[in-house]
Amino acid sequence: GSSDAEYDVVVLGGGPGGYSAAFAAADEGLKVAIVERYATLGGVCLNVGCIPSKALLHNAAVIDEIKELKANGIEYPAPKIDIDQLRSYKEKVVARMTGGLAGMAKTRKVDIIRGNGRYIDPHHIEVKLTSGEGKVETGETTTLAFKNTIIAAGSRVVNLPFIPEDPRIVDSTGALALKFVPEKMLIIGGGIIGLEMGTVYSTLGARLDVVEMMDGLMQGADRDMVRIWQKKNEHRFDNIMLNTKTTAVEAREDGIYVTFEGAKAPAEPQRYDLVLVAAGRAPNGKLIGAENAGVSVTDRGFINVDKQMRTNVPHIYAIGDIVGQPMLAHKAVHEAHVAAENCAGHQAYFDARVIPGVAYTNPEVAWVGMTEDQAKKEGVKINKAVFPWAASGRAVANGCSEGATKLIFDADSGLIIGGAIVGPSAGDMIGEICLAIEMGCDADDIGRTIHPHPTLGESIGMAAEVAMGTCTDLP
């Protein structure tokens, strides 16, 4: 049956972009619905992304740290790992967070319409209702009318065409399902997602190979920072294949055989027990009937928006992974708030100077704003200041003296325009550098701010003092 419910705002997609937009619009007093095909809110981030990966990574980091205690005279027996219980821990974390979202939607009186949504014209969306865990369609359809709509339909895993179907070949979702720990694992794609999942599996006992088309892992971060991570992680890898292409994947009874092409590629196909394909994500722009609403979609499936998050159709907004890189949850949430405020009649703009990126590996690698590599490429004159954690008493005490904190200043204005941290909790600390950039701080502002001693976060103040020439903690 078709109810013609009329909403101020219909949000397509219940991920971090979608639910944030819906809740913000409801808080403005608007009548709001979320259309989401899956049983829970939270999208990729909560269900098969940020949160379950961190639930596993936390356990891996604790295991790694306990191993390192041996050098201090504290030795534990090798961990006994009950993979079913670990998986259920991860599932409980996800359930608790998605359950929380359902409650928050209810308090705000946001309607959740369970189904596959497709725009049929600029003011209506048709929803094929779904039930069950997945997105099984019930055969029932409902149509919602809206004054404004916010497209937050996210992205999906890119599948490589030559890869066969086999339970030993997984994407990030399959890797998070944690069915078994392989002896030998290949990661196709040396980006954040692949390396995070590799960290988990390696700590649980897998040997890793990684293949990457570009000339380095963790693209986007400065090489000097990535090198610190790599040195600490060499023990996990048998082979790091850079500038290398994967050209064939064959599933045989005794393993998955993969052929590579590149200067240092092994001549013979290599055998793996598990292959993780982490070669990127594609936006869902072409799958939602955008054309029926008059919304332009790029060839690759992205939807272009202006600084108010408006598409080419003024009452239709788009946010999150579907509008472009970086595909990160915190970017989606901030765009969501802008779109919701505009739906409520305010004049809001997305004008973040910087968006941080974090690899929650061990150690973590976090970066924001201008990198050294980027400055070189773009001819921007910079001053950089690096504080090596070997000079931090807390880092030495914590056994993480290999870490580093780097700040990048504009040479002309002296203002901070970038920064990076490698070490445990780098992701938790990078926020201070983000704030410093947003507030237009120079080295003095940061260096004269009293940071608590002894902390890892203090390294940010010390790096600023390096820039000022007043750091007394370096030889």
Instruction: Supply the residues annotated as catalytic.
Output: 453
> In angstroms, how far is CA 112 from the centroid of its own chain?
25
DSSP-derived pairing of the beta strands 32-36 and 4-12: parallel
As a whole number of angstroms, the distance between CA 176 and CA 286 comes to 27
| Cβ 335 to ligand FAD shortest distance, Å | 8
218 is in an annotated binding site: no
Distances (CA, A) of 441 to 250, 417, 435: 54, 9, 9
Cβ closest to ligand FAD, residue 120 vs residue 397: 120
| Cβ 346 to ligand FAD shortest distance, Å | 21
Cβ closest to ligand FAD, residue 15 vs residue 182: 15
Cβ closest to ligand FAD, residue 116 vs residue 203: 116
370 is in an annotated binding site: no
Cβ closest to ligand FAD, residue 144 vs residue 225: 144
The angle that helices 83-107 and 16-27 make with each other, rounded to 10 degrees, is 30
Question: 4: exposed, middle or buried (C-beta count within 10 Å: 0-12, 13-18, 19+)?
Answer: exposed
| Cβ 19 to ligand FAD shortest distance, Å | 8
Cβ closest to ligand FAD, residue 211 vs residue 319: 319
Side chain identity, residue 27: D
Distances (CA, A) of 308 to 21, 315, 334: 13, 11, 11
192 is in an annotated binding site: yes
| Cβ 295 to ligand FAD shortest distance, Å | 13
Cβ closest to ligand FAD, residue 43 vs residue 419: 43
280 is in an annotated binding site: yes
Distances (CA, A) of 412 to 110, 383, 428, 462: 50, 9, 30, 22
**How many CB atoms sit inside 10 A of residue 159's CB?**
13
| Residues at the site binding ligand FAD, with contacts judged by CB under 6 A | 12-18, 35-38, 43-45, 49-50, 53, 116-117, 152-155, 172, 193, 284, 287-288, 320-322, 327-330, 332, 360
Is the C-alpha dihedral spanning 94, 97, 99, 101 positive or negative? negative
As a whole number of angstroms, the distance between CA 37 and CA 12 comes to 9
Query: Which run of H or of E encompasses 21?
Result: helix 16-27
DSSP letter for 78, please.
P
399 is in an annotated binding site: no
440 is in an annotated binding site: no
190 is in an annotated binding site: yes
Tokens representing 370?
A: 């201008």
Sheet holding 364-369, edge to edge: 357-359, 364-369, 416-423, 404-410, 382-388
165 is in an annotated binding site: no
DSSP letter for 274, please.
E
329 is in an annotated binding site: yes
Phi, psi of 33 (to 5 degrees): -130, 145
The angle that helices 50-68 and 83-107 make with each other, rounded to 10 degrees, is 140
| Cβ 9 to ligand FAD shortest distance, Å | 15
Tokens representing 339?
A: 């779109």
Cβ closest to ligand FAD, residue 154 vs residue 447: 154
- The SS3 assignment for 316 reads strand
Cβ closest to ligand FAD, residue 53 vs residue 371: 53
198 is in an annotated binding site: no
Nearest to 230 by CA among 331, 98, 213, 221: 221
Tokens representing 169?
A: 């070949």
As a whole number of angstroms, the distance between CA 8 and CA 29 comes to 10
Bind-site residues: 54, 117, 189-196, 212, 280, 321, 327-330
